[in-house]
Structure 1
Amino acid sequence: MSVPTVLENILARKVEEVAERSARVSLSELESLAKAADAPRGFAQALLTQAKKKQPAVIAEIKKASPSKGVIREDFVPADIAKSYEKGGATCLSVLTDIDYFQGADAYLQQARAACKLPVIRKDFMIDPYQIVEARALGADCVLLIVSALDDVKMAELAAVAKGVGLDVLVEVHDGDELERALKTLDTPLVGVNNRNLHTFDVSLETTLDLLPRIPRDRLVITESGILNRADVELMEISDVYSFLVGEAFMRAENPGIELQRLFFPERGGPVVSGSTLD
């Protein structure tokens, strides 16, 4: 399997991270914590319900930094951002938990989920069943499986573990080959198409539009990266894509929730209802 160097480095670090964490907290201990966690909030169902109404289903991302952009948001309080997103009309949240490359933290996921009623996906590089159980123990409602980071056997194994602990799965693809593997290996209804080329880091919404005809109608297409303005949103909606994962465009805004509303629900007009310290 050929993967870009940045991803290779991240995955190598994940192997070390899993070893370090499992030495501190055993898998059986994690499984007990997962069973005691709050019930899942229904990540996939929330998206499917919204998309069926042909209304924007927005997965709003809480992300402090990235390897390519460095720190994206200095004023970073996950609980306040989560509240702002909820008021702005988000359907779900995505929270980065990778420490070394995205300056994320497990606590950010817990803080964000506790501050709102939205389902949350743990956005990280999943390579081991330990991380899946850990996600549920943290309170996550869904996990991300990145096809370019996994072989088919591992992908199927992680999806089975996720199902066993009550987590939904969002599978992420970047091209036609990855899409074919995802559709063959997994039965999750959530298919994320990342518009960012992993080799060049260029972003093109054509990636989603090109792959769209190859995705069965019983799967929900989520377009990821590159949604920056109303024209981008309308381009997708014309093509019957109503589910979006957006991070950086919101994170760079003074008030992420108001930016979400401006981009996806302009007909509502006016500021987001006050109550968040970000208002």
Structure 2
Amino acid sequence: MNILDKIIARKKQEISDSKTIVPLQQLKDSEFFARKTCSLKESLTSKSGIIAEFKRQSPSKGIINDTISPLEVVSAYEQFEASGISILTDKDFFGGSFEDILQVRNHINIPILRKDFMINEYQFYEAKGMGADVVLLIAACLSPQQVHEFTQLSHELGLEVLLEIHTEEELKHFNSEIDLVGINNRNLKDFKVDLQHSVNLKNQLTENILSVAESGIYHMDDFKYLKEKGFDGFLMGEYFMKHENPGNKFSEFISNVSI
């Protein structure tokens, strides 16, 4: 069983428990459920193109930064022209929580991506209820039919969809209703990073679809290379979060990027 299989097995149990504790109607009655969402598609093309991530830990890196508050980090990200914010809500493997989104939602005005392993309809109502604007659909743990159904549900709830792929086979998960396609530079099954592989996949996408390079961007040269190859957005977390002050690191990075 690889790490992705372990995560999904745990996620199924987590969802089952959550449904018992918080009924669907309670999610619909929550503070942010009626909130009008922001568009990441629009924000990507009007600001830096960077979706800056708040992430405490990961299965491949262990603890990255578990001492700084989400609000402090994401407020700085917004101040220095991030196009959007990605927040991990998986607890067991990434140290995240719903509270990380809830505590910042009223304080920032750019789109928030709920980054988690979305495998059940219930999670989309959770995302809407916690104030997310975008959800991540990971092709590696979904069928093309599930991607289609979850995309329709997301749009019914006013959420945009970022579809994440890593292989040519996963290109089959794409459908015309998808808002953005993320190409993960890191293989979720063995965590190896290959930027050229991502570029090859991007070149097979429909021309008018916005593409986001995800993960494994560790240097300015990586960023520039992917930008030159035509990526519209860049999801970056570890590069900033591994520093004592992620906001300052983000500011430093942005000062070297032509916006």
Output the TM-score relative to the length of structure 1.
Answer: 0.87
One of 237, 241, 246 as aligned partner of 1:251: 241
SS of the counterpart of 1:33? Answer: coil
**Structure 2 segments unaligned to the other structure (5+ residues):** none
SS of the counterpart of 1:83? Answer: helix
One of 28, 31, 35 as aligned partner of 1:31: 28
One of 202, 216, 219 as aligned partner of 1:229: 219
Q: Which amino acid aligns with 1:229?
A: H
Deviations 1:96-146 (A, max 9, x none): 000111110000011232332111000000001100011000000010000
**Structure 1 segments unaligned to the other structure (5+ residues):** 51-55, 269-279
- Aligned mates of 1:170, 1:198 — CA distance in 2: 16
SS of the counterpart of 1:60? Answer: strand
Structure richer in helix, relative to its length = 1
SS of the counterpart of 2:6? Answer: helix
Q: Which residue number in structure 1 is paired with residue 5 of structure 2? A: 8
* Residues 34 and 215 (structure 1), Cα distance of their counterparts in 2 relative to 1, 3 Å cut: farther
**TM alignment of 1:97-108, pairs within 5 A:** 97-108=89-100
One of 67, 79, 84 as aligned partner of 1:75: 67
* Residues 230 and 152 (structure 1), Cα distance of their counterparts in 2 relative to 1, 3 Å cut: same
Report how far residue 227 of structure 1 moved.
Answer: 1.3
Report how far residue 6 of structure 1 moved.
Answer: 1.1
Report how far residue 195 of structure 1 moved.
Answer: 0.6
Report how far residue 177 of structure 1 moved.
Answer: 0.8
Is the CA contact 1:80–1:115 (under 8 Å) kept in the aligned structure 2?
no
* Residues 37 and 152 (structure 1), Cα distance of their counterparts in 2 relative to 1, 3 Å cut: same
Is the CA contact 1:30–1:133 (under 8 Å) kept in the aligned structure 2?
yes
Q: Which residue number in structure 1 is paired with residue 173 of structure 2? A: 182
Is the CA contact 1:34–1:134 (under 8 Å) kept in the aligned structure 2?
no
* Residues 77 and 145 (structure 1), Cα distance of their counterparts in 2 relative to 1, 3 Å cut: same
SS of the counterpart of 1:214? Answer: coil
Report how far residue 63 of structure 1 moved.
Answer: 0.5
* Residues 65 and 218 (structure 1), Cα distance of their counterparts in 2 relative to 1, 3 Å cut: same
- Aligned mates of 1:267, 1:36 — CA distance in 2: 36
SS of the counterpart of 2:126? Answer: helix
- Aligned mates of 2:197, 2:255 — CA distance in 1: 24
* Residues 14 and 157 (structure 1), Cα distance of their counterparts in 2 relative to 1, 3 Å cut: same
One of 89, 92, 97 as aligned partner of 2:84: 92
* Residues 22 and 186 (structure 1), Cα distance of their counterparts in 2 relative to 1, 3 Å cut: farther
Report how far residue 16 of structure 1 moved.
Answer: 1.0
Report how far residue 40 of structure 1 moved.
Answer: 0.6
Aligned positions, number: 258
Identity %: 35
Report how far residue 243 of structure 1 moved.
Answer: 0.8
SS of the counterpart of 1:144? Answer: strand
RMSD: 1.8
SS of the counterpart of 2:103? Answer: helix
Q: Which residue number in structure 1 is paired with residue 208 of structure 2? A: 218
SS of the counterpart of 2:225? Answer: helix
- Aligned mates of 1:46, 1:267 — CA distance in 2: 17
* Residues 257 and 89 (structure 1), Cα distance of their counterparts in 2 relative to 1, 3 Å cut: farther
SS of the counterpart of 1:28? Answer: helix
Aligned: 1:20 with 2:17: yes
Q: Which amino acid aligns with 2:231?
A: V
